[in-house]
Amino acid sequence: MPPPELQRWNLDPETTLPRLVAANAAAVPAQVAMREKDRGIWQETTWAQLHRSVMAATAGLQALGLARGQGVLVLGDNRPRLYMGMLCAGALGAYAMPVFPDATPQEALHVASEVEIAVALAEDQEQVDKALDLRERGARIGRIVYDNPRGLARYKVPGLLSWADLAVEARGAAPGRRAGARGRAARAGRAARPAVLVHSSGTTGKPKGVVLSHFNILSGVRNAYRSGAYGFGESVLAYLPMAWIGDFAFTVGAGVALRFTINVPERQETVLNDLREIAPSFYLAAPRSWDNMLTTVQVRMEDSTRLKKLLYDVFMHSAQAAERRKLEGKTPTLAQRLLRPLGEALVMGPIKDQLGLTRLRHAFTGGEAIGEDTFVFYRALGVKLRQLYGQTEGSAYTAMQSADEVRLHTVGRPLPGVDARISDSGEILLRSGSIFAGYFGNDAATAEALEDGWLRTGDAGYIEPDGHLVVLGRVSEVVHTAAGERYIPNYIENRLKFSPFIKDVAVLGKGRDRLAAMVCVDRETVGHWAELRGISAISYADLSQKPEVLQLVGEALRRVNATLPEPLRLAQFVSLHKEFDADDGEITRTRKLRRNVVEERYAPIIEAIYGGQRHVTVKAQVVYETGETGVTERELAITEV
């Protein structure tokens, strides 16, 4: 039975996130709302403390002049005060606009130029410098409020103040205005007003602004709750980029609505260590993150004793075989059922403890398809990993697998409260309260995305007879070979990335007589693989061209080819001399391929592949520490699959 607060939330269409913070503070004032690891020690903030901080900061921001329709630019990694600042913006009807921490100045300027930025919330000195740089580039940024004061004592910049100064600003306001600000913070706006302004990935152009209201976010949370995605009082690790809708929807939206304990890691570099300490009950990660944890386990097993390797092989092989039988709709054998309890005690339990997955009840992966081997490994480990499907425009929640009904090729059923259908062209269409009202300042794009109340997702797919949704890839990426064979490059690319040795890949073949691929090997995984075999390399480019590495990549491509119809099998590949880089515009910050950029930048390699050459020489510009530039040449092999 859900708490009374949830029942009121379901019945009150004007509920907002700040109002729910106030409700939590009244109902469970001493319960921990947030933990932040600072200098190795976890600092706790209760719901009562969180509410007081949000109230005070809201009054302070209004005293600075923040008003409805203005922007609050959020710069930095996950920090409690940055989350609080976003809640303050929502209380005042302003736009909370998080930016990826590693965004280039041009990308950040694109976000900062959309509205007047009354306040920029900066994590530390580095982010303050970024805000000042944006000012110089023409962004209209009023005040800059920073969290960490280290290195900022001598800054003499107009409009620069600390988070603590917000309380001073609030106290300095006229009594009537101060009372009005606190009253507005208590009423916390309206459900139809913006909770956050995030941006699409921008795979085909500049990212588009997506305004999601409190009603949108909380509708998505409600739908996911009804589907069993999480319950009240979960413990989560807030490590996903704040500019990604997944973080806001799960950390802020669900975290506030369902009283999660939100744990903020010390730094991005310490996330895995912090994960082990926290052992959360809810965890969402991209397939690559799950792959990396699996690689860590495999590497440690390579370095362990012969007995431990034997135990690992015996029990994990049995558990994985049992999971594969379940995926086929069969029951595990008697031997597999008898081995499971002993394997849990000797192997699976200790591995989960080392990874921080001991208390994990709700484990999700999303963003792209996950490899079968990775998926089966975690299910065999006892982690009920399942796939989630959603878009920024739909508040991150659309469909998900149930814990005990998973299939490798589907993303589960649409959530309660979400209507899904397939258009005549094969596009997935959605309708729900979680769907946004339109792109910010872009009526043309809005008209293209929304049709009679339905969101055109841009994804091709189909619905199976029992209601499971299958996502094939982007409709815009449906292309044909010279012979007229229809295929979606992204569908093949995702399956190639099931290999832990392949980090990124671009499949070629539009209008051509055969398919080929440009592959970026995973530096860490392939590097460790080569080290164990005594293969030395002086650089990534050198490693990528080793004959043994080319053979390794070729084996991964052949495995995928075996699942494809003959006309769509990959004929050749090139192992690239560098990884695709977001700073170079080749992929987005969420690691989605910008195909037009890649095909233009690597045109000489593509022409060499289809020109029948065996090798191609590429030139790359190098910037040295002195600022001088140079050019390096590298010969890449064009390898037959």
Q: Are 147 and 124 in contact (CB under 8 A)?
A: yes
Residues 57, 51: Cα–Cα separation, whole Å: 10
Beta strands in 522-568 (DSSP E): none
Mean pLDDT score of the chain:
90
Nearest to 222, CA basis, from 389, 341, 366, 397: 397
Better-predicted residue by pLDDT, 220 or 630: 220
What whole-number distance in Å separates Cα of residue 288 and Cα of residue 295? 10
Which secondary structure element, helix H or strand E, spans residue 635, and what is its range? strand 629-640
Q: What angle do CA 449, 453, 459 make, to 5 degrees?
A: 40
Q: What is the pLDDT of residues 487-502, one digit of tens each?
A: 989 889 988 988 889 9
Q: Could you report the per-residue pLDDT of 380-411, keeping only the tens digit for each?
A: 999 999 999 999 999 999 999 998 888 888 99
Written as one string, the DSSP assignment of 196-242 is EEEE---SSSSPPEEEEEHHHHHHHHHHHHHTTS--TT-EEE--S-T
Tens of pLDDT along 86-127?
999 999 999 999 999 888 888 899 999 999 999 999 999 999
pLDDT of 1 > 50? The answer is no
Amino acid at 524: E
Pairwise CA distance, residues 107 & 335, whole Å: 56
**Domains of the chain with CATH codes:** 4-205 (3.40.50.12780), 284-475 (3.40.50.12780), 478-640 (3.30.300.30)
Closest residue by Cα to residue 252 from 212, 193, 288: 212
Question: Which H or E run includes 54?
Answer: helix 47-63
Render pLDDT for 307-355 as a digit per residue (tens, 0 to 9).
999 999 999 999 999 999 998 889 999 999 999 999 999 999 999 999 9
Strand pairing partners for 146? Answer: 122, 162
Model pTM score: 0.86
Please give the Cα distance from 164 to 153 (Å, whole number): 14
Alpha-helix residue ranges (DSSP H) falling in 227-266: 245-247, 255-257
Confidence at residue 474, expressed as pLDDT on a 0 to 100 scale? 85
pLDDT at 174 over 60: no
State mean pLDDT over 54-74. 94
| pLDDT on residue 11 | 46
265: number of Cβ within 10 Å? 22
Percent of the chain exceeding pLDDT 90 equals 72
Better-predicted residue by pLDDT, 36 or 588: 36
Please determine, for residue 414, whether its predicted confidence score (pLDDT) is greater than 90. Answer: yes
> What angle, 0 to 180 degrees and rounded to 10, lies between the N-to-C axes of helices 287-302 and 372-381?
70
Nearest to 436 by CA among 132, 602, 220, 641: 220
The three-state secondary structure class of 465 is: coil
- CB environment 166-189: b (16+ within 10 A), e (fewer): bbebbeebeeeebeebbebbeebb
Express each pLDDT in 269-312 by its tens digit. 899 899 999 999 999 998 888 988 998 898 888 888 999 999 99
DSSP H stretches of helix in 173-304? 175-187, 214-226, 245-247, 255-257, 271-278, 287-302
Between residues 630 and 540, the one the model is more confident about: 540
Is the separation of the CB atoms in 119 and 72 below 8 Å?
yes
For position 225, what pLDDT does the model report? Answer: 94
**With bands split at pLDDT 50, 70 and 90, how would you rate the model's confidence at 168?**
confident
